Amino acid sequence: MNMDQVEGNWKQLKGKVKQQWGKLTDDDVDVIEGNMEELSGKIQEAYGCDKAEAEKQIAEWKKNA
């Protein structure tokens, strides 16, 4: 799934994001609005990982989404 697809289908993907990263709040997911930089930052905050790890997780998620 490419970036345009993620941003365009964000409302549908919000549930999948919450499944993958359960520590993210509804407000976090609403603020992200398909922006992968925002998602990366929220994952880093919630899970205490670095940017590289967050981006790796996002890349794996996008393959499977």
pLDDT for the residue 43: 98
Task: Compute the distance between CA of residue 58 and CA of residue 64 in angstroms, rounded to an integer.
Answer: 10
Q: What pLDDT does 13 receive?
A: 87
Confidence band for 3, pLDDT divided at 50, 70 and 90:
low
Structure confidence by residue, pLDDT tens digits, 11-57: 888 999 999 999 999 999 999 988 999 999 999 999 999 999 999 99
Q: What is the pLDDT of residue 2?
A: 65
Residue written as tokens 């549908």? 12
48 burial via Cβ count (<10 Å: 0-12, 13-18, 19+): exposed
Q: At 37, is the secondary structure helix, strand, or coil?
A: helix
Domains and CATH numbers, the chain: 3-64 (1.10.1470.10)
Nearest-angstrom CA–CA distance, 10 and 22: 17
pLDDT band at 10 (very low <50, low <70, confident <90, very high): confident
